[in-house]
Amino acid sequence: MDRVPPPVLVVAAVSSVQFGAAFAKSIFDEIGPGGTVFLRMLFAAAVLMLIWRPRVTGHSRREIGLILLFAASLAGMNATFYAALDRIPLGIAVTFEFVGPLGVALFGSRRRLDLVWVALAAAGILLLSDFGGTDLDGLGVALALIAGAFWGAYILLSARVGQAFPGGGGLALAMLVAVVPLAPFGIADGGGDLLVVWVLAVGFAVAMLSSAIPYTLELEALRRLPAGVFGVLMSLEPALAATAGFIVLGEDLVAREVVAILLVVAASAGAARGANFAPRDA
């Protein structure tokens, strides 16, 4: 992996996440978004626990509080995003969701130029919503925006969890805790189909594509890449989400929606270039 240029690793990580989301949506008809997010988080938690083997007991109140908050952000972010995916196309959902990381990036910067990125992002969102006249599902848009708020919380909490726990132990524990509130909804949504072999196989693949593989690639890239550049590359996420939605799910976008996504990508890249917090995938 040392021979692979860091930008290639980041783009591969982002692509892995978005194609994982596209494959996740492909089993919504069988187990619904609730069942899908439950399987994804369950398998991801199992793999991360096996990799990092974190200590389960003996933590301070502060550490337990951090894990609970981190788990809440993970559960909320993934549940609302998958629910949004059930109602609106993948590329559009990620674009609305990216308002969260964009807000964090802008919060971490103090430049007048940031007003330009705010204007670009606002123009992209307004264009995407067709100034209120679009046929996009309103609840789907709202859920994607809520997922973005959880994503922003995830970014801020991940820095504290990373300082309090060695390696990926904090993430593994939070992922395991996040499965608990998702389980009742996932089991109710998926029912007996959660035990179908091919559905389990797709769920495991989604967990690997959305968690294990991109985390590994990102960690390696960050060893050799400035955080600002990393954030710019991560800002390609809405565009790659639209690509994955088109290839895997056949979700077409009209020219207006493509322009809107590119505006948000440009705003995110510009904000991330000078931010203290780079947008991170969850």
**Cβ count near 79 (within 10 Å):** 24
pLDDT at 231: 76
Is the Cα dihedral 275, 78, 145, 15 positive or negative? positive
Question: Which of 18-27, 106-115, 129-138, 149-158 is modeled with the greatest confidence?
Answer: 18-27
pLDDT for 210 beyond 50: yes
What does pTM read for this prediction? 0.88
Average pLDDT rounded to a whole number, residues 186-193: 95
pLDDT for 162 beyond 60: yes
pLDDT at 108: 63
Q: 83-92, 127-136, 219-228: lowest mean pLDDT where? A: 127-136
Angle between helix 90-97 and 255-273 (nearest 10): 30
Q: 3-7, 39-43, 199-203: lowest mean pLDDT where? A: 3-7
The better pLDDT of the pair 42, 271 is held by 42
pLDDT for 227 beyond 80: no
Q: 23-37, 71-85, 89-103: lowest mean pLDDT where? A: 89-103
DSSP 98: T
pLDDT tens digits for range 235-275: 888 999 999 999 999 998 888 889 999 998 888 888 777 65
Q: Which candidate, 204, 178, 210, 224, places its Cα nearest to that of 68?
A: 178
Average pLDDT rounded to a whole number, residues 228-236: 79
pLDDT tens digits for range 98-129: 888 888 777 766 677 777 888 888 888 888 87
User: What are the contacts of 255-259 at 24+ separation with CB within 8 A?
Assistant: 256/127, 256/128, 256/130, 257/91, 257/92, 257/127, 257/128, 259/124, 259/127
> What value does the mean pLDDT of the chain take?
87
Cα–Cα dist 265/124, whole Å? 9
What are the start-end ranges of the H helices in 191-236? 197-207, 213-222, 227-234
The percentage of residues in the chain with a pLDDT greater than 90, rounded to a whole number, is 51
- Helix, strand, or coil here: 133? coil
pLDDT tens digits for range 53-74: 999 998 999 999 999 999 999 9
pLDDT at 281: 41
Question: Which of 29-38, 97-106, 149-158 is modeled with the greatest confidence?
Answer: 29-38
pLDDT for 282 beyond 50: no
